[in-house]
Structure 1
Amino acid sequence: MVPVQEVKTPGGIRAYLVTERTVPFLSLGFHFRGGAKLDPFGKDGLASFTAGVIDEGAGPYDTQAFRRELEDNVIRLGFDADRDGFSGHLKTLSATRDHAFELLRLALHEPRLDAEPVERVRAQVQADLSRRAKDPNAQARRHFYHGMFGTHAYGRPIRGTLETVTLFSAGDVRTYVSEALRKDDLVVGVCGDIDAATLAPLLDHAFGTLPAGSAWTVETAVPMAGPGLEIVEIDNPQTVAMFGHGGIERHDPGYQAAFVANHILAGGGFSSRLMEEVREKRGLAYGVGASLVELQGAPLWIGHVATSNDRVAQSLEIIASEASKLANGMLDSPELEDARTYITGSFPLRLTSNDQVAGMLVGMLTLDLGQDYLDRRNQLIEALTLEEVQAAARRLFHPDAMRVVAVGKPQGLKAAA
């Protein structure tokens, strides 16, 4: 695998770097712990709104001038927020990288937040929320997380609501930036035409004057709701269902085995058991799958299926049955070998571009996987025994504990009174 260097700057920024000289450009990704989890109560969606407006003009550049600087210099810059983090990406040619890092610095430290772009972004967010209110997939996700976590930050909508979005002011955004984007919560991944000595001062230029300390409160065990069924009725010929329960934490010794077990059940595309049983054999749904989801203090196993209203109950029964089979040890060596071959063989395909490598490096730092993770990852998969994967399946899959949200007009399902 490619060599990964750790870069620690004089200003206290920590980064992983892969130097790739083939093409004269670089990709940078970064992640601040926090994200929507740091939204003030009653102002759900502020982190996401902040990600949408801080590059709408910064420093001496209004919105149009800032966009021209990016486009004229072939620079790509953007921000995003999720439940656990506030993130961003930068892509630049080597010839314009100093200017690119300056524009990144301006967006983080001197966002203009002029009235016109703030109101334009607000209108865009409101239009998106109105669309999502009619989208069964979006509704299933929203109700699932709210049902699982209630009023905890993980249960609140990442993008906010039509009501909360109307409350955001430029002052709210400035407060979020100054209080939530802290140096100790930041990790950076870089891949491309640059070495460590050149990168370090650029990182300090862009991030070095951020406030010290952390805005993050460590939670080791976030309360989660138990099993249940929630039906959200909308007039739709199809029902979208989300299902899941607690998962296995990323640093648990059994995580890799659980990852393989989930791949066999629901994560292996057309080769997974659920695709075989739900789609191929019975034609109940076009797609079905599940994955392990990382939330700090609240790891999850979450799946989804979409099918006609009269077939959703049967689909969920098959999903629970197949999960039970794996939990009861019904797994043989050939199936494990097939999964192992796919997982290890497909891993390099996730590292075919500078963007992908930078993103992987950010994930490695965020999850504290170690500088040598790219070398160790496939070795960890190869070393798993059948007994270890069977044991992980017993720990991971609990059909009786599943929480289900069904959005549509499902037949044969009845929510608890």
Structure 2
Amino acid sequence: MSERNGLRYGLLALALLVLLAILLLLVGREDALESAPAAADSARLESLAELNGQAPTRRALQIQTWQTAEGAKVLFVEARELPMFDLRLIFAAGSSQDDGVPGLAMLTNAMLNEGVPGKDAGAIAAGFENLGAQFGNGSYRDMAVASLRALSAAEIRQPALRLFAEVLGQPSFPEDALMRIKNQLMAGFEYRKQDPGKLASLELFQRLYGAHPYAHPSDGTAESIPAIDRAQLQAFHARAYAAGNAVLALVGDLSRSEAEALAAEVSAALPPGPALAHIPQPEPPRGGASHIDFPSQQTHLMLAQLGIDRRDPDYAALYLGNQIFGGGGFGTRLMEEVREKRGLTYGVYSGFSAMQARGPFMISLQTRAELSAGTLQLVKGLLRDYLDQGPTQQELDDAKRELAGSFPLSTASNGAIVGQLGTIGFYDLPLDHLESFMAEIKALSVEQVKAAMARHLDPEALVIVSAGPEVAQQALPPPTGKPAEQPSGVPEH
């Protein structure tokens, strides 16, 4: 036998031995599975076929709620699957509380982690990083938010909470950081002059809300930001970040007693004070169109009117109706007629933004400038037809099935759950809101959805803002299954 053949036979023998070992392992594993308790079967992955057309199961939440001694509302879900916790504080401290100083709420929130007594922004960031904790914050029209994620072990949780409480309760608002953030904002104001979509959005909100607190942009204006000083930030913090104005959402690997101690520590660190008064409802605006002349290839179109607040009894019906009309991406009426059949846009969307007061219903898209007038009339006609006819039964069934399939994602992670708790607490929704919402969705009929949409929307009352060049208009291409010409360029926003 040659050396080469010897090596070949040796490798073959080795391969046979490995194959035999694998077979023995598989047989042993099969025997072990057959003798395992029945409980092991429940841990395996389920085939989609086994769902038999039914929606996947959603995680049931056992929401516990109480109020701290200082007046903060707490919503807590115990979740032992991961050794961590998510904490979110929501304050009625958004730009609707600016009280005539646009940008005050946003600047206050942005400055929270820029300094506390004895620590600058770098020390605060290093403190969270060294603990493996994550701090987050943000400010919007209705609310301001601060969040913390950390391991639940006491040696991590307690120092992370102490630092979080300092940041929320004792911000020092250092002058150098204030100047830096102001400069960043002013640069952003200059940049947005070159963004036709942003210019259209600013004018739309101004026309839609007039003198209402929702009218001005959350990040302020080039006129308001330079004049805001440290004393104003301190006063706003003392008033709007008070414990009585806070909702504390908490999810994680904590017992009820640990959660109560955590909430009490954070609540006690906040300024004392009551909840702020809710903002008033806006007055309906005058409809009509306005145009911003802007040199570009495409025209931005925005159509809007006042929608609903978050506690409106028609919320579920409007949510489902909008999913069919323009809120569900591909397959909606708007996408089918405007993009798929005519190739007028890359995307067209509609939506209700339900807030503390009546938020906007809005339709937005970009299209070729020379087709903008025809596209606008097409979209208005589609809305008019939808309100007159309502959805088909097939559209309603498809939308319900899609929502039922995606709804479990709303509680698929601790981060998702804490967001749901924050919404429930801030808008004062029932604790069983998630279950009742889906039950209401399932029970809705075509007639109920049609009636709800018609109660709240009127194509003749739309506030319309366009931004793009003044060019000669062309007739729209006829609808077809394969549009001959797609929109030029990529979306500009």
For normalisation by structure 1, the TM-score amounts to 0.94
Q: Distance in 2 between matches of 1:132 and 1:196?
A: 48
Structure 1 counterpart of 2:417:
357
Q: Distance in 2 between matches of 1:38 and 1:10?
A: 25
Change (3 A) 1:178 1:412: farther
Change (3 A) 1:151 1:252: closer
Structure 2 counterpart of 1:27:
86
Structure 2 counterpart of 1:79:
137
Aligned pairs for 1:16-415 (under 5 A) are 16-41=75-100, 43-95=101-153, 96-208=156-268, 209-219=270-280, 221-409=281-469, 411=471
Structure 2 counterpart of 1:7:
66
Q: Classify the secondary structure of the residue corresponding to 2:125.
A: helix
Q: Distance in 2 between matches of 1:81 and 1:224?
A: 26
Q: Distance in 1 between matches of 2:102 and 2:309?
A: 26
Q: Classify the secondary structure of the residue corresponding to 1:224.
A: coil
1:232·1:407 contact (CA, 8 Å) conserved in 2? yes
In the TM superposition, what is the alpha-carbon distance from 1:50 to its structure 2 partner?
1.1
In the TM superposition, what is the alpha-carbon distance from 1:129 to its structure 2 partner?
2.2
In the TM superposition, what is the alpha-carbon distance from 1:410 to its structure 2 partner?
5.2
Which shows bigger deviation, 6-15 or 251-260? 6-15
For normalisation by structure 2, the TM-score amounts to 0.80
Q: Distance in 2 between matches of 1:370 and 1:180?
A: 24
Opposite residue 2 of structure 1, the aligned amino acid is L
In the TM superposition, what is the alpha-carbon distance from 1:284 to its structure 2 partner?
0.4
Q: Classify the secondary structure of the residue corresponding to 1:271.
A: coil
Change (3 A) 1:156 1:266: same
Which shows bigger deviation, 7-16 or 234-243? 7-16
1:37·1:154 contact (CA, 8 Å) conserved in 2? yes
1:329·1:394 contact (CA, 8 Å) conserved in 2? no
1:312·1:411 contact (CA, 8 Å) conserved in 2? no
1:290·1:303 contact (CA, 8 Å) conserved in 2? yes
Change (3 A) 1:83 1:74: same
Opposite residue 48 of structure 1, the aligned amino acid is M
CA RMSD of aligned residues (A): 1.8
| Bigger RCO of structures 1 and 2 (CA < 8 A, at least 6 apart) | 1
In the TM superposition, what is the alpha-carbon distance from 1:398 to its structure 2 partner?
1.2
Q: Distance in 2 between matches of 1:340 and 1:258?
A: 13
Opposite residue 148 of structure 2, the aligned amino acid is L
1:313·1:411 contact (CA, 8 Å) conserved in 2? no
**Can you give the 5+ residue segments of structure 2 that lack an aligned partner in the other structure?**
1-59, 474-493
Q: Give the share of equivalent positions with the same residue, in percent.
A: 28
Which shows bigger deviation, 355-364 or 315-324? 315-324
Q: Classify the secondary structure of the residue corresponding to 1:311.
A: helix
Instruction: String of CA shifts for 1:183-216, please: whole Å, max 9, x gaps.
Output: 3321121222122211122222122343221222
Opposite residue 120 of structure 2, the aligned amino acid is D
Total equivalences in the alignment = 411
Q: Classify the secondary structure of the residue corresponding to 1:162.
A: coil
Structure with max Cα Rg: 2
Q: Distance in 2 between matches of 1:246 and 1:412?
A: 32
2:246·2:275 contact (CA, 8 Å) conserved in 1? no
